[in-house]
Structure 1
Amino acid sequence: MIDTHAHIHFPQFDEDREEVIKECEEKLDAVITVGCDLEDSKKAIEVAGQGRNIYASVGIHPHEAKNYSEKDYERLVEIVRSSSKVVALGEMGLDFYRNISPKEKQYEIFKMQVEAARELDLPVIIHTRNAAKEMAEFIKKEFKGELKGVIHCFSGEKVLLEAALDEGLYISYAGPVTYPRNEELRETLRYVPSSRLLVETDSPYLAPQPVRGRRNKPTYVAYTAKVISEYLNLSFSDIDRITTVNAKRLFGIPLTDEEKRERLVYKVGNRLYINLSTRCPCSCKFCFRGVEDYILGYNLNLKREPIAEEYMYRIKNPKVYDEIVFCGYGEPFERFDDLTKIAKWIKKFSKDTPIRVDTCGLGYLITGREDLLDHLKGLVDSFSVSVNASSPEEYYKVVRPSFGKGSWESLLKFIKDAVSKGFKVTITAVDYPGFNKDDFEKLAETLGVPYRIRPYKRFRNWQS
């Protein structure tokens, strides 16, 4: 796990810094100690040099903006270039809670650091307090999809969350997400793509609930990760993997060979997912394909399509899983023969392990076979069909199937046929802007199947 935002170079750690760093080295993958002005950033770099996996950022906090001007640009760049341990610029941003620095000065120094990040090709660590709307506007105007970065210690404002995700920024949660009264903040977790999620401590401040009132420290990031895992119905190891890989990708910390490896199969909780193909006949407006390769901490963008036996080798013992799901970067029916072959192998060794296929429902058009459901009887137990519309007009506008006209009718036929042949079928949709939940519920009722509506997770601006 990586604590993406700490201040272990602060005076609060003077008495036991060596022990804290040792603990971080033993229990965490990395810690980023974050500078708040240029002299403070030098201290951060010095402390980063005391640990193999301690990194630093260089930045000017909005409270300190009044002490700087654009003339300090070269000094900022020089400090960044003084150490290979510097992985980001920040923290920087807008803080209108106390207005310790004048607003115009905060904007000036923020813009200066953004320009430095462009020159240095480094991500930015953004501080926002009582300035969500202003920060959202700034990000839209100044970032233009050209900068990487993170909203540090996100506090739950929808307008900022949407603007940040539209720009490809990461969202980091700290101790406050664990506080009992912060249910609205926890609710925002449902809207953050797994590939954009980070955790932090902001130590020595904001200790998570189980240790609230104590001096915070980097290893306490585990408490925050635990609450997030419980809220998202994931395992602790899932959140560990997801946030560690995300932090490494954002801050340029080398990934291990295991983290870089393209995943044929991947485990989430106690389910095993089988990633057969990158191909899909649909081009849904909300889809991550072509935008993100890493989902749930795994690289799912296959550069080749492995043979069925390679999947069998990696599955090993199907009996140990609660469910095995054909679901990955693309559409499983694009490789119908291999899907069938692998499913037969699984059932041979474990008749009781349920097998589900997550599909766009265009199996008839993809395979050209009207008998495909007959071939899957006794092999597949259930289908989760991504419909994402309640009318053909909406379907062609949002899902955009490559087969064109007739796709909607083929989709509905697949669902009805699967139900009539005894498969368990659930239809799903993403709650994207303009989605009609009531009409989708009526569609499910008409088809005689249960439904599930998933939160809309922004990978890009919806209008684009």
Structure 2
Amino acid sequence: MIDTHAHIHFPQFDEDREQIIRECEEKLDAVVTVGCDLEDSKKAIKVAESSKNVYASVGIHPHEAKNYSEKDYDRLVELIKSSSRVVAVGEAGLDFYRNLSPKNKQYEIFEMQVEIAKQLNLPIIIHTRNAAKEMAAFIKTKMAGCKGIVHCFSGEKELLEAALDEGLFISYSGIVTYPKNSQLRETLRYVPSSRLLVETDCPYLSPQPVRGKRNKPTYVAYTAMEIAKFLKINFTDIDRITTINAKRVFHLPLTAEEKKERLVYQVGNKLYINLTNKCPCNCKFCFRGTENFILGYNLNLTREPIAEEYMYRIKNPSIYDEVVFCGYGEPFERYETLKTVAKWLKKMGTKKVRVDTCGLGNLITGKDTTKELKGLIDTFSISINAGNKEEYLKTVRPKFGEKSWNAVIDFIKEAKKEGYEVIITAVEHPQFNKDDFIKLANELDVKYRIRPFKRFKKWEE
């Protein structure tokens, strides 16, 4: 696990810093200690250079903006370049709660640091307090092409949408564990797994189980546990997801295991089978082509493996609650491989086999697949993502054109008729007609599930 925002170079750690660093080296993959002005950033670099897994960020906090100007551009760049342990710019941003620097100075110094981050191809760590609307506007107009992290996100919808539209990462601190912060926890549903980070902001903001004590990097585990509990996945899943994301954003080296293309991958006690990158649909909200790492796994296949490779990796499928054909693309694009693996799964005593599909399997294969898969598949989860044909064609954009809608509806009816469990699903995208979707599910007499809309890019794009 990686604490993406700490201040272990602060005076609060003067008495036991070496012990804290040893603890970090034993229990964490990395810690980023974050500077608040140039002198403070020098201290951060010094601490980072004393440890194999502590890194530094160099920047000027909005509280300190009044002490700097654009003339300090070169000084800041020089300090960043002075050490290979510097992995980010910041923390920088806008703080209209304390207003310790004039607003115009805050904007000036923040924009300067964004330009430096772009120039040096580093992420910027963004501080925002009582300035969500202004920060959202700034991100929309000034941060195109800049990687970054919204540090200690506090739940503002406008800021979240602007940040995700520009590809920024969202970092949750110990405040997400506080009982009264239910609205903040709700925002977790809308953050793509590939953009999620955790932090402590130590020595401040101790999570609920240790509230009132000085915070420290290893307490980031409490935040991760709360997020896992809320999202109903395992702690190990959040550990993997946030560690991979932190390495990606800070350009830290991934291990060979982390880089590996995943043919199969586990989330909770379910196993997922990733057959292909290909899909006949081009959904407006889809992550394909935008993100390769989903749920902490690299799902972008550069080849199409044979069935035996999946069997070799799965080994004993009976230990999982469910095995699901679901990956980067549409499973029916590799129909024969799907069938071969499904037969083997049943032979090996798999409890339940599900296919997550767009429902165009019969158009893809030219076959009546619901009859052929009888006894091999238990459940079809069909991503229809609309309640009517017009919305479907605009949002899903299938390559088969207008005949796709009837093909999906026919597939659902046939699957239900053949005795499969059938669930239709939809992402609650900006143009989603929820009433039509529920009405359609009732007419088809099937279960339905509506998934939160997770932004990967601007909807208009």
Partner Cα separation in structure 1 for residue 435 and residue 388 of structure 2: 12
Report what 1:259 is aligned to.
Answer: 258
- State whether structure 2 residue 410 is matched by structure 1 residue 413: yes
Deviations 1:53-101 (A, max 9, x none): 0000000000000000111110000000000000000000000001000
Aligned pairs for 1:230-249 (under 5 A) are 230-249=229-248
Deviations 1:295-316 (A, max 9, x none): 0000000000000000000000
Partner Cα separation in structure 2 for residue 323 and residue 459 of structure 1: 28
Report what 1:150 is aligned to.
Answer: 149
TM-score (norm 1): 0.99
Partner Cα separation in structure 2 for residue 405 and residue 287 of structure 1: 20
2:312 aligns to what SS in structure 1? helix
Partner Cα separation in structure 2 for residue 127 and residue 215 of structure 1: 21
Paired AA for residue 280 in structure 1 = C
Partner Cα separation in structure 1 for residue 190 and residue 121 of structure 2: 28
Report what 2:375 is aligned to.
Answer: 378
Report what 1:75 is aligned to.
Answer: 75
State the shift of 1:438 in Å.
Answer: 1.1
State the shift of 1:436 in Å.
Answer: 1.1
TM-score (norm 2): 1.00
Aligned pairs for 1:109-128 (under 5 A) are 109-128=109-128
Unpaired stretches in structure 1, ≥5 consecutive residues: none
1:273 aligns to what SS in structure 2? strand
Deviations 1:252-307 (A, max 9, x none): 01000000000000000000000000000000000000100000000000000000
Partner Cα separation in structure 2 for residue 423 and residue 109 of structure 1: 60
Aligned length: 461
Provide the alpha-carbon RMSD of the alignment.
0.5
Aligned pairs for 1:47-446 (under 5 A) are 47-144=47-144, 146-350=145-349, 352-370=350-368, 372-446=369-443
- State whether structure 2 residue 16 is matched by structure 1 residue 19: no
Report what 1:40 is aligned to.
Answer: 40
State the shift of 1:462 in Å.
Answer: 0.5
% identical equivalent positions: 72
Deviations 1:427-454 (A, max 9, x none): 0000000211111100000000010000
Partner Cα separation in structure 1 for residue 171 and residue 195 of structure 2: 8
Partner Cα separation in structure 1 for residue 119 and residue 459 of structure 2: 29
2:309 aligns to what SS in structure 1? helix
Partner Cα separation in structure 1 for residue 320 and residue 5 of structure 2: 36
Deviations 1:162-203 (A, max 9, x none): 000000000000000000000000000000000000000000
Partner Cα separation in structure 2 for residue 456 and residue 97 of structure 1: 31
Alignment counterpart, residue 458 of structure 2, candidates 430, 450, 461 = 461
Paired AA for residue 53 in structure 2 = N
Partner Cα separation in structure 2 for residue 349 and residue 234 of structure 1: 26
Deviations 1:123-168 (A, max 9, x none): 0000000000000000111112x01010000000000000000000
Paired AA for residue 197 in structure 2 = L
Paired AA for residue 173 in structure 2 = A
Paired AA for residue 104 in structure 1 = N
Partner Cα separation in structure 1 for residue 329 and residue 280 of structure 2: 9
Partner Cα separation in structure 2 for residue 394 and residue 119 of structure 1: 42
Paired AA for residue 175 in structure 1 = G
Paired AA for residue 111 in structure 1 = E
Partner Cα separation in structure 1 for residue 63 and residue 278 of structure 2: 49
2:57 aligns to what SS in structure 1? strand
Partner Cα separation in structure 1 for residue 428 and residue 16 of structure 2: 49
Unpaired stretches in structure 2, ≥5 consecutive residues: none
Deviations 1:32-62 (A, max 9, x none): 0000000000000000011100000000000
Paired AA for residue 419 in structure 1 = K
State the shift of 1:463 in Å.
Answer: 1.2
1:15 aligns to what SS in structure 2? coil
Paired AA for residue 375 in structure 1 = E
4+ aligned runs moved over 2 Å, structure 1: none
